[in-house]
Amino acid sequence: MDAFGDLLRGVRAQGSLFGSSTLTPPWSLHFVDGAPLTLCTVLRGGGWIVPERRPPERLGIGETVIVRGPAPFCFVDEVGTGAEPVACGAFCSTPEQGGTRHRLGWHDAGAGAGAGGEDATTLVVGAYPVCGEISRRLLDALPVVLRVGSGGGPDPVWEHLAAEVAADTPGQQVVLDRLLDWMLVCALREYFDRPGGTPPGWYSAGRDPVVGGALRLLHAEPASPWTVASLARRTGVSRATLAKRFTELVGEPPLTYLTHWRMTLAADLLTERETMTVAEIARTVGYSDAFAFSAAFKRTRGISPSAYRRTATTPPPQPAGSGTLPDKPPALAAPSGPFRLSAT
């Protein structure tokens, strides 16, 4: 597994499609659930992504943007639109609310308007519940808004997505989730590979025949007793060559990178595997001595493994008067103009 693939392994759409939204202006969708990553792609028409405290981004047919949360953002027909915002929260995609078929609201646009109108816009949105320290390393490398153009030619995946949205067949949600995953990975790769871009060191280094091989080894066998010499032997270069080249391309020496990666793996194990002891986690990430592991974890994270586990797994205090979530989502404000939001 390469570094990029490893960071993406926990980023999966699972029923996260808000739906195919067919909109006639004026309209304003306000995404308020604070998803760590939200992918928006336009199948027809266009509009504006308006992030919080960021310049608006025009989104046309075939274009995709990825918005990094948790700050909310809007998708509107025009900047400064007078349409009443319709809140889109995490509940929009839950199975009990109908998944892709859930209607956020309905306002009859009248004769000649609606899904078939020339000015209609069809939007597909997928929210990604990115969790854990592994995926956070990916988020840290992304801007708040990442925009990818249509490429100027036919895209078979995009066309397949449009066709699937228009269908109503068994397993549709699974197909749409996987298509969105595909689009997410392709959009990230296109962003990192664009001329003049500033991709993270671990991404660019993955293309180097020597350092890329070393990174794959570290990610495939993080618990192995690596030394720079043993890593150099496996990649077929001298110790000095590997150390110099790795540091230049990645930005830190091989064993420093390994330590940080091991601590990232350990942080997720501490929160996700509550039955594992600190000693078991230490062995899993390559430390035979739990004390040495604890010292390395505290040195890199500023907190002991046990304290990190307690902090990460303790639920935040509930405000006074709070209770369980309601059985149904709150009613949504009706838009102030011609509006249609439904699966096509």
List the domains of the chain with CATH numbers.
Answer: 3-196+332-341 (2.60.120.10), 201-302 (1.10.10.60)
Please classify residue 257 by burial: count the beta carbons closer than 10 Å to its beta carbon, then call 0-12 exposed, 13-18 middle and 19+ buried.
buried
Closest alpha carbon to 311 in 262, 271, 272, 276 = 271
Of 201-215, 246-260, 322-336, least confident by mean pLDDT is: 322-336
For residue 16, name the pLDDT band (cuts at 50, 70, 90).
Answer: low
**CA separation for the pair 2, 100 (Å, rounded):** 33
Element (H, E) at 270: helix 254-272
| Per-residue confidence (pLDDT) for residue 101, from 0 to 100 | 36
Q: Which span out of 32-46, 159-173, 246-260, 315-329 was modeled with the highest average pLDDT?
A: 246-260
Look up the pTM and report it: 0.74
**CA separation for the pair 267, 134 (Å, rounded):** 9
* Better-scored residue on pLDDT, 157 or 215: 215
Mean pLDDT along residues 310-331: 48
Q: Please give the share of the chain, as a percent, with pLDDT higher than 90.
A: 30
Q: 3-class SS at 59?
A: strand
DSSP characters over 275-337 = TS-HHHHHHHTT-S-HHHHHHHHHHHHSS-HHHHHHHHHSPPPPPTT--SPPSSPPPPPPPSS
Element (H, E) at 262: helix 254-272
**CA separation for the pair 210, 205 (Å, rounded):** 9
The pLDDT tens digits of the residues spanning 259-283 come to 999 999 999 999 988 889 999 999 9
Of 68-82, 203-217, 224-238, least confident by mean pLDDT is: 68-82
| Per-residue confidence (pLDDT) for residue 152, from 0 to 100 | 52
User: Between 305-313 and 290-301, two packed helices, what is the crossing angle to 10 degrees?
Assistant: 60
| Per-residue confidence (pLDDT) for residue 251, from 0 to 100 | 93
Q: Kindly give the pairing relationship between strand 86-88 and strand 28-31.
A: parallel
Element (H, E) at 202: helix 201-205
| Per-residue confidence (pLDDT) for residue 10, from 0 to 100 | 66
**CA separation for the pair 265, 149 (Å, rounded):** 34
Contact 3, 257 (CB under 8 A): no
Place of tokens 């609606």: 114
| Per-residue confidence (pLDDT) for residue 109, from 0 to 100 | 37
| Per-residue confidence (pLDDT) for residue 5, from 0 to 100 | 86
Alpha helices in 26-171 (DSSP H): 132-139, 156-166
Q: 3-class SS at 44?
A: strand
**CA separation for the pair 202, 211 (Å, rounded):** 9
**CA separation for the pair 167, 101 (Å, rounded):** 11
| Per-residue confidence (pLDDT) for residue 15, from 0 to 100 | 59
The pLDDT tens digits of the residues spanning 281-303 come to 999 999 999 999 999 999 999 99
For residue 224, pLDDT beyond 90: yes
For residue 95, name the pLDDT band (cuts at 50, 70, 90).
Answer: very low
